[in-house]
Amino acid sequence: MSDTPSSSTVRPIDVAVGILMKTNGDVLLGQRPDGKPYAGYWEFPGGKVEKGEAIIDALKREMLEELGVEILSAEPWCGVEHVYPHAHVRLHFYISREWRGEPQSLENQAFAWQGSVGVEPLLPATIPLIEWLDRLRDRPNVD
């Protein structure tokens, strides 16, 4: 037996993820840059929560670092855990409808505003979110 814990048994890594949603329901996706696991896959902007950092603060930091956008308000929406070969992640998805600034590609990533999301491939743990978002758009006042 190996002494090295596999990625499924170690404590999950918390990740803060932001779904910027326009009033028409469009959401912003970015493409993972070269050099990261799953390069070229589409995801919602975000990144790992640092030690001792509140998840909402990580969200605000990542959105500023990646997009140059200041989050004015964001609501926690859902959580997803996923075990990748490279990491066991716990994703905290927030929806933000209020931000300041126009998203810029500060890490050289491609971006796309999408209504019904059509970009591919998506990160595996993000795939279910697309259907949930469609339902949210159809019934905006139901949680």
Ligand X SMILES: Nc1nc2c([nH]c(=O)n2[C@H]2C[C@H](O)[C@@H](COP(=O)(O)OP(=O)(O)OP(=O)(O)O)O2)c(=O)[nH]1
Which residues contact ligand X by CB under 6 A?
A: 15, 17, 36, 43-48, 82, 84, 87, 89, 91, 123, 125-126
- For ligand X, the closer of residues 79 and 115 by Cβ is 79
- For ligand X, the closer of residues 38 and 141 by Cβ is 38
Cβ count near 119 (within 10 Å): 16
Name the 3-class secondary structure at 126: helix
- For ligand X, the closer of residues 1 and 19 by Cβ is 19
> CB of 47: closest distance to ligand X in angstroms?
3
> CB of 46: closest distance to ligand X in angstroms?
3
> CB of 1: closest distance to ligand X in angstroms?
27
Amino acid in position 141: N
Distance from C-alpha of 17 to C-alpha of 76, rounded to nearest angstrom:
10
- For ligand X, the closer of residues 47 and 95 by Cβ is 47
- Tokens 């329901």: give the residue: 25
Distance from C-alpha of 4 to C-alpha of 127, rounded to nearest angstrom:
30
Q: Which two tokens stand for residue 125?
A: 């743990």
